Amino acid sequence: MADAWCAGPVGDEVTGYGSLLALLGRTGLAGPDGRRVTVPVLCRYCAHDEFEVASDEVWCVGCCLPIGIEDGDVYSGTCQWRLVRSDVQPSGAGNVVRKRTAEYCPAGHGVFLVAVAYAFAADGALCGLSVGLKCPEDGALRLHVDNARVVQERA
């Protein structure tokens, strides 16, 4: 499922987050105690809600800054985490974050709504991550990161 786009909703539902959050809800991502939080992504710098995906990162359309999927924080100079392939993924799965120069939906649109599902361990540490994309033009949906295991980096 991670490598395929699927048809999203039509009509008024195209621009909302409901179907994207539902897609992430079906990923099977959960921490050891089952705790998971799924949220829409807004840029922490400009509060914009549309993003481009390029060079292994999700970039805000409003301010052109990345959101830090692979390491948790691209600005502090230190990694908060690193992503590793989950045991949940098929054995032939590729990299955790796709190695492409740019992402486009099947209709050729390159701007997306983004949502993230975080899984937490019993001690509250982040232990898993899934990232979903939704085209606001046609509603197409895709998992960009599917059930990646998060390894905490120590400073």
Residues with Cβ within 8 Å of 118's Cβ and at least 6 positions away in sequence, in order, are: 36, 37, 38, 39, 126, 128, 129
State yes or no: pLDDT of 61 exceeds 90: yes
State yes or no: pLDDT of 135 exceeds 90: yes
Q: What is the pTM of this model?
A: 0.80
State yes or no: pLDDT of 62 exceeds 90: yes
